[in-house]
Structure 1
């Protein structure tokens, strides 16, 4: 706790014939982050033909999976699936080398690909035909005002027919210019159509260029007349019959696709995952070094996984491998990947730390601290027992349903669940139960207009108390950060930075706390003075001639950071205020009756329940965001860089497949 996992450097040299098995083993174990190895006397490794086939088949199978997924019967869904998703069943594949896997994939594709592609091609062809028919129907509907056979709307010999649409304001001028250009040897029929004018233009073929030039000038939208005979209305009916026939054909084709999805989808995604993992495995080959007989790899490994990984490597290579485990050097500190290590109760909060950035190897992991402070700040800002209960119930259901996946939803819900306990606690301390609704009910039950639940203070009536408490919490939070920063710098050999950058603020905060608690100005002034002197010296050392400006800027920056904790009070008051407004609105309509029907109670309950749920959601969102801000900006700014490199192990992604390796037999 407070420190990342201890990491060691792993170097392996073994024979080329074990390469595929060793990489597969490491990929499935997922404990080593492989790094690029540069050796002058060796060359870089490259993917072979089987790796290239795996990449190609991955793309092919992905396309098949996408097609089948669109026609796969939906199962579950809705609220239940959100809270309690089902685990996908996994199929076991007995891995006997990439050559055997590629052969199995080729056999599978030879069986299913022709069927799936034929169904895809059929559906695509029918859909294209359906769209073409729909376009023709739309054109015929546009031409329906012209009560003539469409056969006459096509070009024939010496006369050229053009059908088009033009903007209404341009129509008259276009007609005039067409007649001038053709010396009146043109026939034009005009029909209004929505915001445009439909034109039927008949001109001599020798005037084609003149007419086309004018049509382009006036941006005439040409209309291609569909094939067939009869008036546009008559032909449209025929095309609608064709459309109905094609839609039935399309429905039948989709049914066939659904049957294929039912038959092959699970197998397709199974082989898709196998190929994607093979492609991922091949991505590390350029990081390896090789000779004609051997290859070498290097990477970082958590110390706790060393025994398991060493045993696996020895089994895969039959003991024919050189393995070196060494401690990282000081020069490698910045290169060491970071894997967070925390107790089980704090592990989900690692998500919040990782959102900002993981610590360097020589820094403190703040996750256990923010597990408490984030949850407490969230509860302080939301500050209502029933709001916390609602958030807690939703979070508990999500935690229960997603625990087996350990996914982002589980981690987020877990942080909300812990935060909800603090919210309920703070609600009790401030006597907030849906705002003042608890007091209203208590007064109604007891008949005492002054009755109220126990509380340490009423946040709306005593805002200064809440503000003082928020600022005191802020000082404690900042003092913790500066103290951690002091310890880390001192242990890392930066005693000057610890004394001149961290210690001054620790002394200043202590001085403020002593004066506020005891009122004794003498020790407070002494500590404050020492702190200010050290702070000034640190600014002079760091900034030279600009020290005077930086002293003012950084001191008031600290004050601003401290005052930022006033948001604890602001959001607590906002929660109480919004809840009280909802209660007032519900109370205003509560007594309304129409005859003997208590309409006001019905409307009041709708306002109360809907308003309080809305208030819970909007204030919980505010508490989540602002609690994070106090961690990331105010707290982390005192000691934490977050500039570490996350540990990204060479690891397979398995949702529907599971490899059974030869070494496990």
Structure 2
């Protein structure tokens, strides 16, 4: 806790024939982050034909999976499936080498791919035909206004006939220009539509070359006249019959696709995952160094995983491997990948830390701290018992349903659950139950117009107390951050930075605390002045050392920057007041309509309940969102700004992704 996982460097050299089983073992164990190995006397490795086939088959199977997924009948879903998602069944595969796996995939594809591709081709071609027929029906409906046999609308012999539409304002000038160009040798029929004109032109073939540029100039949209005999109105039913036939064919093809999805989808996804993992394995090959007989790799591994991984490597290579495990050197500190290490209660909060950035190897991991401060600030801002209860119920259901997956939903819901507990606690302290609704109900039950729930204060009646409390919390939070920064810098050898950049603010904060005490004895007042003076002097010296000639400007800027950072904690009070205010407005609106009656029907009670429930749920959602965002801001901007860089490199292990497959692999 407070420190990342201890990492060590591992270096392995073994025979080339153990490459595939060793990479498979490391891939399945997911404990090593493989790094590129620079060796002058060896050459880089590269994927062989089997890995290249794996990449190709991965793409092929992904396409098959996408097609079948579109026709697979969904099993369940909805709100219940979101809260309690079912676990996907994993199918086992006995791994005996990539050559054997590729052979199994090829056998599977030889049976499945032709069947699926045939149905896919049938669906695609039928859909294309349906769209073409629909376009032809649309053209016939346009041509119906002319009532001319479609045979006459297609050119023949010495005459070129074309049909199209043009905008109304372009129609007359286009016709005039065509008549001049063809010297009147053309025939034309037209019908006006909404904003266009439907036209049929007949030109002598010798004049068509003259007319064509003019038609393009006026943007004539040409229509492909459908095949057939008779007027457009007579042909429309014929084409509609063709459309029905094709639609029936399409439905049969889709039924066949659904049958294949039921039959093959799970197997296709299974082999897709196997191929994607092999493709992932191939990505590290260029990081390896090899000779004719051997290959070498290097990477980082958590110290706690070393014994198990060493034992596995020895089994895979049958003891024929050189393995070196060493401590990181000083010049490698910035290269060490960071894996956070926290107790179970704080582990889901690592998500919040990682959203900002993981610490460097020689920095403090702030996760256990923000697990408390984030939840507390969230509760202070939302500060209503019933709002906290609503958020807590939803979060508890999500935690229960997603715990087995340990996914992002579980981690987020877990942080919300703790935040909801703090919200309910703050709601009790401030006596807020749907705003002042709790007091209204209590007054109605007791008959006492002044009855109210016990509270330390009412934020709406005494906002200054809440503001002072928020600023005091802000000072404590900043002092903690500067103290951590001082400790980290001092430990890492940056004593000057610790003494001139962190320590002055610690003294200034202590001085502010002493000066703000309600009863200030002379000794406390003198101590406050002394601490503030010493802190200010050290701060000024630090600015001079760091900024030289710009020190005077930076002293003013950074000092008031600190004041602004401190005052930023006033948002705790602002959001607490906003929550109480919105809740009270909802209660007032519900009370206004509560007594409305139509005859003897108490319509106001129904409307009032709708207003109350809908308004309070809306208030819960909007204020919870505000609390989430602003609580994160206080961590990322104000708190982290005092000591934390977040510039570490996250641990990215060489690890397989197994959702539907399980590899049986003997080390």
Flag structure 1 segments of 5+ consecutive residues without an equivalent: none
1:276-320 deviations in Å (ceiling 9; x for gaps): 101111111111111111111110000000111011001111111
- SS of 1:145's equivalent? coil
CA distance in 2, matches of 1:54, 1:457: 67
Show structure 1 runs of 4+ deviating over 6 A. Answer: none
Partner of residue 583 from structure 1, selected from 567, 582, 587: 587
Structure 2: unaligned runs, 5 residues or longer: none
1:362-420 Cα offsets, whole Å, 9 max, x none, are 00000000000000011111111111111001111110010000000000000000000
CA distance in 1 between counterparts of 2:343 and 2:234 reads 78
Q: Which residue of 2 aligns with 1:555?
A: 559
SS in 2 for 1:68: helix
CA RMSD of aligned residues (A): 1.0
Q: Contact 1:12–1:298 (CA<8 Å) still a contact in 2?
A: yes
After TM superposition, list the pairs within 5 Å mapping 1:208-607 onto structure 2.
Answer: 208-517=208-517, 518-519=519-520, 520-607=524-611
2: distance between equivalents of 1:404 and 1:64? 30
Residue pair 2:145, 2:191 contacting (<8 A) in 1 also? yes
Q: Distance in 1 between matches of 2:190 and 2:12?
A: 84
Partner of 2:624: 620
Offset, 1:236: 1.5
Confirm or deny: 8 A CA contact 1:511 1:528 kept in the other structure.
yes
Q: Distance in 2 between matches of 1:355 and 1:403?
A: 21
* Residue of structure 2 in register with 1:142 after alignment: 142
Deviation at 1:578, TM superposition (A): 1.0
1:603-650 per-position Cα deviation (integer Å, ceiling 9, x unaligned): 111111111111111111111111100000000000000000000000
Displacement of 1:447 in angstroms is 1.9
Match of 1:170 in 2: 170
Counterpart in 2 of 1:19?
Answer: 19
CA contact (8 A) 1:378 1:423 kept: yes
Task: Report which stretch shifted further, 436-445 or 615-624.
Answer: 436-445
SS in 2 for 1:4: coil
Write the deviation string for residues 22-67 of structure 1: whole angstroms up to 9, x where unpaired.
1000000000000111111111111111111111111111111111
Aligned counterpart, 1:154: 154
* Match in the other structure for 1:81: 81
Q: Tell me how far apart the structure 2 counterparts of residues 360 and 353 of structure 1 sit (CA, whole Å).
A: 12
Give me the whole-angstrom Cα distance separating, in 2, the residues matched to 1:189 and 1:282. 68
CA–CA distance in 2 between the matches of 1:98 and 1:185?
75
Would you say how many aligned residue pairs link Structure 1 and Structure 2? 663
The CA distance in 2 between the partners of 1:197 and 1:599, in whole Å, is 59
* Structure 1 Cα separation of the partners of residues 180 and 652 of structure 2: 76
Please tell me whether residue 640 in structure 1 is matched to residue 661 in structure 2: no
2:633 aligns with one of 620, 629, 632: 629
Deviation (angstroms), 1:122: 0.8
Contact (CA 8 Å) 2:83, 2:397: kept in 1 or not?
yes
The aligned residue for residue 652 of structure 1 is: 656
| C-alpha contact (below 8 Å) 1:140/1:233 kept by paired residues | yes
1:142/1:193 contact within 8 Å kept: no
Paired with 1:35 and 1:145, the residues of 2 have a C-alpha distance of 73
CA distance in 2, matches of 1:449, 1:218: 82
- Check conservation: 1:360, 1:645, Cα contact below 8 A: yes
The question of whether the paired residues in 2 share the 8 Å contact of 1:175 and 1:188 is answered with no
CA offset at residue 658 of structure 1?
0.6
Rounded to whole Å, the distance in 2 between the matches of 1:524 and 1:289 is 64
Partner SS for 1:662: coil
The CA deviation string for residues 437-493 of structure 1, in whole angstroms up to 9 with x for no partner, is 111111222222222111111111111111111111100000000000000000001
User: Which shows bigger deviation, 545-554 or 285-294?
Assistant: 285-294
Cα distance, 1:71 vs. partner? 0.8
- CA shift for structure 1 position 213: 1.8
> How far apart in 2 are the matches of 1:426 and 1:506?
29
Separation in structure 2 between the aligned mates of residue 507 and residue 77 of structure 1, nearest angstrom: 58
User: Scaled by the length of structure 1, what TM-score is found?
Assistant: 0.99
3-state SS of 2:228 partner? coil
Residue 212 of structure 1 and its aligned partner are, at CA, apart by: 1.5
Q: How far apart, in 2, do the equivalents of 1:539 and 1:483 lie?
A: 19
Alpha-carbon shift at residue 205 of structure 1 (Å)? 2.1
Q: How far apart in 1 are the matches of 2:185 and 2:291?
A: 86
Equivalence for 1:54:
54
CA contact (8 A) 1:22 1:316 kept: yes
Residue 17 of structure 1 deviates from its aligned partner by 1.0
Alpha-carbon contact 2:136-2:226 (below 8 Å) kept? yes
Distance 1:580 1:595 in 2: 30
Distance, in Å, in 2 between the alignment partners of 1:213 and 1:489 is 79
Q: How many angstroms does 1:209 deviate by?
A: 2.0
Aligned to 1:661: 665
Q: Is the 8 A contact 2:51 2:278 kept in 1?
A: yes
User: Residue deviations 1:328-384, cap 9 Å, x none?
Assistant: 111110000000000000000000000000000000000000000000011111111
Q: Give the conservation status (yes or no) of the 8 Å contact 2:146–2:190.
A: no
Shift of the alpha carbon at 1:197?
A: 1.3
CA–CA distance in structure 2, aligned partners of residues 192 and 601 of structure 1: 60
Q: Bigger CA drift: 203-212 or 457-466?
A: 203-212
* Residue in 2 that maps onto 1:122: 122
> Quick one: distance in 2 between partners of 1:193 and 1:385?
66
